[in-house]
Amino acid sequence: MNAAYVFRVRFRLDASGVRLDPREFETVLRVPVVAPDSDDDPDGWLFFRDNLWHGAVSDERHLRELVGDRLDVDVTSVAFAELETDTASLTALREAIGADLDEFNAANVDEVLHKYLGSSIRVTD
């Protein structure tokens, strides 16, 4: 898939014996979207369902810990910016959602996308 969840991340560096200026930094983090049919991480394609709600991070503490572990830094804030995707990847995601609407307790795919991603989808074709 050619898609990524885009987050704005603020983190702090702590070091003993030295002074840092600044000690806090901001960056943009892109987490690749796992293909719905991936054997490597069968639940990974549900990242949006497990971590986002109406285009925002659903549990910031949990996601700060997740991102902090991945980056090996103390993350002080994380905010969802958008799903950056191409048309083919969005189509694959829509098809996977549509094949299992009961999983999302929704009537249609558009409802699922809005429920979790809000209006934060950017198609880059």
Mean pLDDT by 10 residues, the chain (125 residues): 94 89 95 84 83 96 95 96 96 94 94 96 93
pTM: 0.90
At 70 the pLDDT is 92
| Integer CA distances (angstroms), 57 to 3, 13, 79, 99, 107, in order | 18, 23, 6, 25, 23
pLDDT at 77: 97
82: containing domain: 3-123
Q: Provide the pLDDT for residue 113.
A: 97
**Which 3 state secondary structure label does DSSP give 1?**
coil
How many structural domains is the chain composed of?
1
